[in-house]
Amino acid sequence: MAEIAELQRLMDIMWTMIAAFLVFFMQAGFAMVETGFTRAKNSGNIIMKNLMDFVLGSIFFFLFGFAVMFGGDNPFIGTSGFFNPFSLDLDAFDALAPGVFLFFHTVFCATASTIVSGAMAERTKFSSYLIYSALISILIYPITGHWIWGGGFLSTMGFHDFAGSTAVHSVGGWCALVGASIVGPRIGKYKDGKPQAIPGHNIPLGALGVFILWFCWFGFNCGSTTAATDTLGHIAVTTNLAACTATLTALIVTWVRYGKPDVSMTLNASLAGLVGITAGCDIVGYYGAMAIGVICGIVVIAIIEFLDKVLKIDDPVGACGVHLGCGVVGTFLTGVFALPDFLAEAGMTRAHFIGVQALGIACVGIYTCILAFIIFKGIAVTVGLRADAEDEEIGMDISEHGMSAYADFQINSNN
């Protein structure tokens, strides 16, 4: 029996590491989506931001973030393990291995950070973005993560966010919303109060990013078992069904509304369905997953249009609609579509479970918005958040990095 148990542990370690590698590769997917959906003159800058999100996130999560997230039983914040996360006595360390569990959560932290890059693209100073990227890995993601996954007050109440619709995606989405509103719209985005289209320079590149993210999402959701169990198939199917139905829904809606199926909105809807199902992929049924996908396919369009046309918040890649809107909606709908067996095992009525989900969404949203506002406002009044108008016009690649991502091609201020 001891040999079988050790073999199972090694299989769990292998599966969790494979999943972590897939989640790491999501950085490439985000980089391609954000680069393709924005202008050519800012491509290198976006790539650098995505690269540094992972670099800074890894370093600061190791030094501080992991301790904040998993260091002790305090209901609000971890209090031990700073600078030495392996000093913590965690059941997960025994079940897997200290390095495996740490690395798995490191790649999740980097994912939350990088969501903001696209929403603030094409007009944010690179140095200021680096400061934000470090601070979210210390002060925002780990604290709300502690509430949900580290033994904090939300987890003890029964809040369910299996792989991070709230813990990862809505956290990144709230930061993106606050950051985009503070930094302001790109030059030329609004004329006489009306939004002007600023097309992305490479939709095939953006589509490649979506395919990469969809593929890696199976590591994101299935890997959150941190074990090679028979639930993996169920999680994979619900994840895929939600993405497919969201994509089809957005295609139909945009075809009816715009007269033609919109490519970029349909691609964003694929990600919206993935974000929406991430909270409850383990406890909703297949038709529940499809319903979540349909709703997210509608929600992502509505939020992107609302932010753009009504609130005048310029989000070049639709990150707020995808990650914030569908992260919140997906977490709430987990309560609506949770299977009866889960509710019985948890000892909760559906109404109670929905209430807990709503409370968790609100707590995470309020805290994240407050901290993000303080961080971005603090950066704005000290080192400055927004690039100069001249730098924005010539492009962040030249002004910030002294190079062009497409050196052999003529790039002007409009592309």
**CATH number, domain with residue 27:** 1.10.3430.10
Q: Is residue 385 part of a domain?
A: yes
Beta bridge mates, 190: 195
Q: Is residue 415 part of a domain?
A: no
pLDDT of residue 415: 63
CB 216 within 8 A of CB 29: yes
pLDDT of residue 396: 95
Q: Is residue 57 part of a domain?
A: yes
Instruction: State the Cα–Cα distance between residues 274 and 131, nearest whole angstrom.
Output: 29
pLDDT of residue 193: 87
Helix axes 2-36, 98-119, angle to 10 degrees: 10
In degrees and rounded to multiples of 5, residue 2 shows phi and psi of: -65, -40
Q: Is residue 98 part of a domain?
A: yes
Q: Is residue 350 part of a domain?
A: yes
Q: Is residue 411 part of a domain?
A: no
pLDDT of residue 410: 59
Q: Is residue 413 part of a domain?
A: no
pLDDT of residue 172: 97
- Which residues of the chain fall below pLDDT 50? none
pLDDT of residue 350: 97
pLDDT of residue 413: 56
Q: Is residue 256 part of a domain?
A: yes
Residue with tokens 């190791």: 62
Residue-range definition of the domain harbouring residue 220: 2-401
pLDDT of residue 3: 87
Give 39's contacts (C-beta < 8 A, 6+ positions apart).
Answer: 122, 198, 200, 201, 395, 414, 415
How many domains does one find in the chain? 1
Burial status of residue 408 (CB atoms within 10 A of its CB: 0-12, 13-18, 19 or more): exposed
pLDDT of residue 412: 60
pLDDT of residue 409: 72
pLDDT of residue 349: 97
Burial code (b: 16+ CB inside 10 Å, e: under 16) for 109-133 equals: bbbbbbbbbbbbbbbbbeebbbbbb
